[in-house]
Amino acid sequence: MWVLILLTGLFPSLSIAADDIIWREVEPENVVFIDLFEGEIAVELNPLFAPETVEQFRRLVAERFYDGLSFYRVIDGFVAQGGDGSDLGELSLVPLIDAEFELDLSGDIEFTRVQKNDLFAPETGFVDGFAAARDISKNKVWLTHCPGVMAMARNDDPDSSRTDFYIVIGQAPRYLDRNMNVFGRVIHGMEVVQKIQRGPANENGIIQDEAASSRIRGMRLASEIPEKERLTALVMETNTKGFEKLLKNRRDRKQKFFHNKPPKVLDVCQVPMAGRIIK
Amino acid sequence: MWVLILLTGLFPSLSIAADDIIWREVEPENVVFIDLFEGEIAVELNPLFAPETVEQFRRLVAERFYDGLSFYRVIDGFVAQGGDGSDLGELSLVPLIDAEFELDLSGDIEFTRVQKNDLFAPETGFVDGFAAARDISKNKVWLTHCPGVMAMARNDDPDSSRTDFYIVIGQAPRYLDRNMNVFGRVIHGMEVVQKIQRGPANENGIIQDEAASSRIRGMRLASEIPEKERLTALVMETNTKGFEKLLKNRRDRKQKFFHNKPPKVLDVCQVPMAGRIIK
Q: Do A171 and B10 touch (CB under 8 A)?
A: no
Average pLDDT, chain B: 91
CB atoms within 10 A of CB A114: 26
Nearest CA in chain A to B86: A1
Q: Which residues of chain A have pLDDT under 50?
A: 1-16
CA distance B221 to chain A (A): 23
pLDDT band at B163 (very low <50, low <70, confident <90, very high): very high
Where do the H-state alpha helices sit in B129-194?
Answer: 190-193
CA atoms within 13 A on the CB side of B125: 19
Do A2 and B256 lie within an 8 Å CB cutoff?
Answer: no
Summarised one tens digit per residue, pLDDT across range B106-135 is 888 999 999 999 999 999 999 999 999 999
Element holding B116 (H helix, E strand): strand B112-116
- pTM for this entry: 0.94
Contact A3 B166 (CB under 8 A): yes
Nearest-Cα distance to chain A for B238, in Å, is 19
**CB B216 within 8 Å of CB B75:** no
Q: What is the structure's pLDDT at A1?
A: 31
pLDDT of A19: 66
Average pLDDT for B226-243: 95
Rounded distance between C-alpha atoms, residue A189 and residue B147, angstroms: 19
pLDDT of residue A90: 61
Q: Is the pLDDT of residue B271 over 80?
A: yes
pLDDT at B6: 35
The reply to whether residue A10 touches residue B78, judged by beta carbons under 8 angstroms, is yes
What confidence score (pLDDT) does residue A14 get? 39
CA of A222 vs chain B CAs: smallest distance (Å): 24
pLDDT score for B89:
57
The more confidently predicted of residues B104 and A92 is B104
Compute the distance between CA of residue A236 and CA of residue A245 in angstroms, rounded to an integer.
13
Site from B260, B268, B278 to mutate, A interface, most A CB atoms within 10 angstroms: B260
